[in-house]
Amino acid sequence: MAKSELTPSQRTSKIPACAGMIIDSGSHGRRKEENMASEKKYFRIEGEAVHLVTERIERTVTLSDLMGEVAKEGGITTPILPLGCRFFSAKGANATFVIEQAPCTRPVTWLNMGRDNGKWKLAFPFVVFVITTQSGNGIAGSRVFYRTAPLGSVDNLLLSTNLGNTNLNGQMCTGSMRIAGTTPAQKVESFVAEFWHSAWNTDINESFNAHQHIQEVSSLARWEEKSAKNPFFPLSIKWREYGKLIDIIEL
C-alpha cells in the first residue's frame, strides 16, 4: 500500500562539517556536536485546519558546551585589584590575590637580632604575597615567598624566604597587625604595608635559620652590609625551593 504524502516521516542527511556552530570541548579536542542535520514531519492541528510541518535541526550540542562558549564570549570583569597584583581568582565568598613586589632595599624592624633598636636596612629579591580574603571577614590566609625573577606563569617556582615571623611554607604570623580598608583590594594593600611596618621578633625564626649557611645573609649585620654595597645581591642567592604557585593558590 502506498504511503499518503501526509504521513509523518523522518529522514537524516549529512551536512558539511564546517557548517553551523563548532564547539571545541577542550583538552582532547573532542567534538560534542552531531555532524548531522535531522528533519522530521508532523501534523499540527489548529481548529479544522491540519498542517503538515517540517522541522529541521541543523546541529546538536551539549548544554554544558553551549554555556561554555557563551561564557567565553561574555568575558570576565574583575574588581579593582591591589597594587602589584599579578594573579586573581574568586570562588564563592573567597578571593585570592597574588602580589609581586620588585627587588628593593627596605627599612625593617627585627628585634633581638643583635641591635638594640632593632632597625635594619635590608635588600630583598622579588617578594610574592599570596593572600586570601573572605567576604565580611577580611584576611583569611596569607603566605609570602621569594623569587629571583618576575612571575610569568602559575607554574613558576616559589622560594622560601628568610623573613622573621614566617614559616618555611610561607605562612606568616601576623600577631596584632591592624588592617584597614573596606574593599578586598584595600585590605590586601593594607595588609602588605603593615607587614613591612610591623616589628618582627625571634618567636618564629625557622626561615632565617634555614638560610644561615648562606654567608651573605648569615646575620642581619652581614645582610645589611652586603645590601649597602649591592642592593641586587639577593637575586643571585640560592634560596630554598618550595613549590609551584599553582599548588599554593586557592582556586
The answer for residues whose C-beta is within 8 angstroms of residue 12's C-beta and 6 or more apart is 36, 37, 38, 39
Instruction: Give the mean pLDDT of 152-175.
Output: 93
More confident residue, 96 or 32: 96
pLDDT score at 69: 74
Region 229-236: mean pLDDT is: 97
- Which has more pLDDT, 134 or 106? 106
For the cut 90, the answer to whether the pLDDT of residue 177 exceeds it is no
Report the pLDDT averaged over residues 163-170. 93
Q: How much is the average pLDDT of 236-250?
A: 92
Residue 219 has pLDDT above 90, yes or no: yes
Tell me the pTM: 0.71
End-to-end CA distance of the chain: 66
Does residue 58 carry a pLDDT above 50?
A: yes
Region 139-168: mean pLDDT is: 95
- Of 2-6, 81-85, 87-91, 195-199, least confident by mean pLDDT is 2-6
Supply the pLDDT for residue 230.
Answer: 97
- Is the per-residue pLDDT at 226 higher than 90? yes
Higher pLDDT, 46 or 166: 166
Q: Domain limits of the chain?
A: 11-74, 85-247
pLDDT at 114: 92
Contacts of 68 (CB under 8 A, 6+ apart): 23
User: pLDDT grade, residue 250 (50/70/90)?
Assistant: low
Q: In this structure, are strands 85-91 and 49-57 parallel, antiparallel, or unpaired?
A: unpaired
The three grid cell numbers given for residue 226, joined into one nine-digit string: 652586603
Q: How confident is the model at residue 169 (pLDDT cuts 50, 70, 90)?
A: very high
pLDDT score recorded for residue 45? 82
Average pLDDT, integer, range 44-64 = 81
Name the band, by pLDDT with cuts 50, 70 and 90, for residue 31: very low
Going by C-alpha positions, the residue among 39, 35, 32 that lies closest to residue 9 is 39
